[in-house]
A and B are shown apart, each in its own frame.
Chain A
Amino acid sequence: MYQYDQYDQAIVDARVDEFRDQVARRLSGALSEDQFKPLRLMNGLYLQLHAYMLRVAIPYGTLNSRQMHMLAHIARRYDRDYGHFTTRQNIQYNWVKLSDAPDILADLASVEMHAIQTSGNCIRNISADQFAGASADEVTDPRPWAELLRQWSSFHPEFSYLPRKFKIAVIASEQDRAAMRLHDIGIRIVERDSELGGELGAQIYVGGGMGRTPMIAPLIREFVPLSDLLSFVEACLRVYNRYGRRDNIYKARIKILIHELGAEEFARQVEAEFAQVKTLGIDPPVAEFERVAAQFALPEPIQTALRHSRESGNPTPDSDVLTGLELDPRFRGGDNWGGFTAWVRQNTHPHKAPGHAIVTISLKPVGGIPGDASSAQIDAMAELALRYSHDELRVTHSQNIVFPHVAVTDLRAVYDALVKAGLASANIDLITDIIACPGLDYCSLANARSIPVAQKIAARFADGARQRDLGELKLKISGCINACGHHHAGHIGILGVDRKGTENYQLSLGGSGAEDVSLAKITGPGFDEDGIVDAVERVTDRYLALREGGERFLDTYRRVGMDPFKEVIYG
C-alpha cells in the first residue's frame, strides 16, 4: 500500500502544526466559534451531543497493522476505549477534548495518517471498493487513482470553500461495492477495446447522493483517458464551485445543480471547462502514476500463486472456498465446525489468486453497536492482519473490516482468533449486518436514535438459520434526513424522525447501493420503536411467502411491487 515520502510527511506534519496553532487561538479566545468552526471541520473535528468528535481519514479504506494499532492507542489514551467505523470508510472517536486534538493528530502523523478534509465544504476522503486489488472482477486496482485523487484534492486552493461537502468514490469492477453512483462523483475504471490490447479509462458519474433529496448520479462522460482524469474532475469541480447554489444549504450539493441544469447541459459546461483545464498541466506524468501504483502491488506470495495458476492454464479463482476446506482432511471437523463453515460461507469472498480468500469481519454482533470496536478488538484485528493478511486491512462502507489476502489454509486459525475477540459474527450481507448512523445517542443533528432500533431488529432475527434463509438483505437506518445510515439505499430502509417531540420511524423498501442501484420508496405512516421492528418482520414474512426460486428480497420486491407489503404492514 501507499507509503509517504518526505513530501507527504512534511505536508501532514505542517498540518499538525497549523491545527495546533488554530486550537491555541480558539482556546485563547482570539477566534470565535463561528470563525473556528470551518477550521476545525476541515480537520474532522465536530461538536456532538456529549463532546467533540474526531473523524480520522482512512484513505480509500486501506490501512496496515501499525496504523490500526495506532487507532486502538488513540481510543485508549484519548477516548473511552472504542472507536466507530463509518460508512465512508473512516473512523470516529466520540469523546475527544479540544485540547487533546493536536496531540492526536501528531500521533496519527507518526503513522502516516491524518484527519484532513474529513468534514467541511471541501473534497472529502476518497472512498473505493473495499476488495480493490484482491477481487477477481476488477479491471485494475482502483486505489492508485484514488491516491492520486487524494493528493490532488488535499488543500486544493480553489475547492476548499465549496457550496457544500463533496464526496468521490472510485471502483474498477462491474460489481459496485462502494455505492459509487450515490456519490457527488462516482468513477468506474473500465477497459475498452480489450481485444485490441485494451485501454483503461474512467466512466464519470456526477450528482449522486442521499440526504434529503436522494439522487442517482447520471453518466456525464463515457470514457475519460486516465491521463486526463484529474483535469476532468477539476473541470467538474470548477463548474460546481462557480454555479452550485449557495443560497440554501439544502440545495447546495452538486446533485441539485445537475438536477436544475439537466445532465446534458452540465456535461456541456464541464466539457467547455475541461478544454481549458486540460492545457494547464494538472495531471501528473505517467512516472508518478507508476510510482504510486508500484506501492499497491500484490504481496509476493500472491503474485506467485497468480503466476502459477496462469501458467497451469487454470486462471479461475476458487469460487467455493468451503468445498476446498471440506475436502481437505487437515481442516475438516474439529470444535465448532458448524460455526466455522457458516462463517466461511457468509464472510469470505473469492480472491483473484487461487488458494486465497477475502475475509470480511463483521462489526455487527447481535446486541452490539454497528461499526463500533473496542481498543482490544482493534488491536486484535491489527495483529491478525499482520500475521494472516500480508499486513493489510480495509474498512467497508458497510462498517465492517476486511482482511483482503488470507490463505485458505489460514482461515481456521483466523476464525478461531476472531471468536476469542468477539468478532466472528457470520452475518455479512444478512439482515443483522445493519448499517446504522450514530443517531440521537451521539449526533447533534439526529432526530431519533438509530442504534437501539438496530439492536432490537438484530435481536428479533438473531437466529443464524433464519437470517440465512432470508438471504441477502441490506437493512440501513438513519437517525435523520441527512441519511448517513444510507436508508435510501437499503433493501429495507428506516428513517428516524421527530414527530412532535417523540421518536418515530419511517419504513422504506427497494433501495440498493450496488450495481443495481435504486432508491427506496417509503411505505406509509411511521411507527414507534417497537412498531418498526414488527413492521420489518411482517415485510420479511411476506417476502418468504412470495419469493420464487432463488430470489433475494430485493428481487421479489421489484417483481411484486409495494402493495403486497403494504397490505401486511398496514392491513
Chain B
Amino acid sequence: MKLLTGNDLKSGAVTWWAGAGWSIHLTDAADVGADGDTILTAEDAARRVNAPYLVDADDAGLPLHIKDRIRAAGPSVRSDLALKPADEWAA
C-alpha cells in the first residue's frame, strides 16, 4: 500500500494522511492507493505540512524503508521518547 507522510508545519511532528486529515499516529494512516499524487499536490499547496511525500508500506501498513519506520516509531536509541498510542498533537 501507499501512505502519504510529512512533518506538521507548526510542531514539526511526523504526520500521516488519515483520509480526511492528518494524524501523528501511523495506525491512523490511510492507503492513498492511486490518489497519492492528487492528495499530495493539494496538501502541498495547503502549506499545513512540510515536504509531504509518498511511501511504500507493507500489507500491515508498516513503511518498507527503515527511515520511515524510525520516523513512525521515534529514535531507536530513546525508546522512552517513542510515540505512545494516547499521545495527542504536541502543537
Contacts and interface: CB of A to CB of B under 8 A. Distances in A.
Q: Do chains A and B touch in the complex (CB under 8 A)?
A: yes
Contacts of B65: 501
Contact of B10 (A33, A98, A446): A98
Contact of A47 (B47, B51, B66): B51
Given A369-B77, A441-B75, A97 B66 contact: no
A97 B51 contact: no
A98 B11 CA distance: 6
A440 interface: yes
User: Which of B74, B75, B81 gathers the greatest number of chain A CB atoms within 10 Å?
Assistant: B75
A452 B47 contact: no
Given A49-B70, A440-B66, A98 B47 contact: no
Interface string B64-91: 1111001100111110010000000011
A455 interface: yes
A525 interface: no
A99 B10 contact: yes
B51 A99 contact: no
A50 B14 contact: yes
A255 interface: no
Interface in A1-47: 26-27, 29, 32-33, 47
Interface in B7-39: 7, 9-14
B67 to A, nearest CB: 6
B70 A441 contact: yes
A99 B91 contact: yes
B10 A27 contact: yes
A22 to B, nearest CB: 14
A367 to B, nearest CB: 10
Interface in A445-480: 446, 449, 451-452, 455
A310 interface: no
Contacts of A440: 66-67, 70
Given A50-B71, A501-B64, A97 B77 contact: no
A455 B9 CA distance: 33
Main secondary structure of the interface of A (DSSP, over half): mixed
Contact of A455 (B12, B64, B77): B77
A449 B78 CA distance: 13
A80 interface: yes
A344 to B, nearest CB: 31
Contacts of B66: 440, 501-503
Contact of A97 (B10, B50, B67): B10
A446 B65 CA distance: 13
A99 B89 CA distance: 14
B65 to A, nearest CB: 6
B9 A50 contact: no
Nearest to A447: B67
Nearest to B81: A80
Contacts of A99: 10-11, 91
Contact of B47 (A33, A49, A446): A33
Contacts of B81: 80
Contacts of A51: 7, 11-14
Contacts of B47: 29, 32-33
A442 B75 contact: yes
Contacts of A50: 12-14, 71, 74-75
Given A33-B50, A99-B91, A440-B67, A449 B76 contact: yes
A390 B75 CA distance: 37
B77 A47 contact: no
Nearest to A501: B65
B70 A27 contact: no
A452 B51 CA distance: 28
A463 B12 CA distance: 41
Interface of B: 7, 9-14, 47, 50-51, 64-67, 70-71, 74-78, 81, 90-91
6 contacts: A51-B14, A97-B90, A98-B11, A449-B70, A451-B75, A452-B76
3 closest Cβ pairs, A-B complex: A51-B12, A52-B12, A441-B75
